[in-house]
């Protein structure tokens, strides 16, 4: 699918990998809507790229549906979604304080897995209305993590959520394939986003010592480059692509 002229919604596009994706796609000629929290820099980012901003808390599923509908109305259609919103906590299955809180587990699942599926299902319902371009109507790109495959101690909830996102790829692609809609996920290692973006370089070396190359944290623009490559290559479908410099997480 050609990026130029397409309509894209970036969920979590106010910062980090989402922001980089919004900026790159806009530079390639796509019309962009950013969905993010009211307290985010979403409006400033959107204004800077000639896009639109819509307030959304992804754990408010009805509110997200309304925001996504408003974004589609503003754009005049939808061809691409990129969902980067998410996060985790540090809790073991069993600790000195007792078993892992079910409420906290559910919160992480809601923030990552359920919110991602909510955006995906809604996006598909809009994409199916598009006139096909070389038989293709849309691309759904979600964000997993290499923690989905080798989660560290204390990441049980986050691992479950991100593994769910990875696991949905092929089934979603099969569900939507006859409609001309592709579905994939990207599984980053540690990237310079959120709490890690201001960490001094000497502190990051132990975190990336097991990477093959390069031995550093990923850059948001590298995630965005993969987003663009996925959109442009119709043979990429139904998989979760690791973006990790050959990193394999140790137990802790």
- Distance, CA of 146 to CA of 74 (rounded, Å): 35
Q: Which of 139, 28, 11 is nearest to 78 (CA)?
A: 139
Among this protein's residues, is 158 annotated catalytic?
yes
Catalytic residue among 53, 54, 158, 249, which?
Answer: 158
Asked whether the beta carbons of 143 and 188 are under 8 A apart, the reply is yes
Asked whether the beta carbons of 237 and 183 are under 8 A apart, the reply is yes
> CB-based burial of residue 65 (10 Å sphere; 0-12 exposed, 13-18 middle, 19+ buried)?
middle
Compute CA distances 237 → 76, 165, 177, whole Å: 25, 14, 9
Question: Please, which residues have CB within 8 angstroms of residue 26's CB and are 6 or more apart in sequence?
Answer: 32, 49, 50, 51
Q: Which of 111, 7, 86, 11 is nearest to 53 (CA)?
A: 11
Q: Which residues are catalytic?
A: 158
């Amino acid at each position: 699918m050609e990026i130029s002229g397409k309509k894209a919604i970036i969920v979590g596009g106010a910062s980090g990998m989402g922001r980089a994706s919004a900026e790159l796609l806009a530079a390639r000629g796509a019309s962009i809507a950013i969905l993010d929290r009211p307290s985010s820099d979403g409006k400033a980012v959107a204004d800077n790229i000639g896009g639109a901003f819509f307030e959304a808390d992804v754990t408010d599923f009805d509110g997200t549906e309304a925001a996504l509908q408003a974004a589609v109305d503003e754009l005049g259609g939808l061809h691409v979604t990129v969902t980067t919103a998410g996060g985790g906590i540090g809790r073991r299955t069993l600790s000195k304080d007792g078993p892992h809180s079910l409420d906290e587990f559910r919160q992480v699942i809601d923030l990552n897995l359920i919110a991602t599926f909510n955006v995906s299902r809604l996006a598909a319902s809009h994409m199916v209305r598009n006139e096909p371009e070389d038989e293709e109507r849309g691309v759904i790109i979600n964000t997993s993590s290499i923690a989905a495959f080798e989660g560290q101690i204390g990441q049980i909830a986050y691992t479950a959520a991100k593994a769910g996102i990875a696991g949905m790829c092929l089934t979603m692609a099969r569900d939507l394939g006859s409609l001309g809609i592709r579905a994939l996920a990207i599984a980053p290692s540690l990237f310079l986003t959120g709490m890690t973006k201001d960490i001094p370089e000497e502190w990051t070396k132990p975190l990336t010592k097991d990477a093959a190359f390069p031995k550093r944290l990923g850059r948001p623009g590298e995630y965005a480059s993969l987003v663009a490559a996925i959109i442009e290559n119709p043979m990429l479908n139904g998989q979760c692509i690791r973006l990790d410099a050959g990193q394999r997480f140790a137990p802790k």
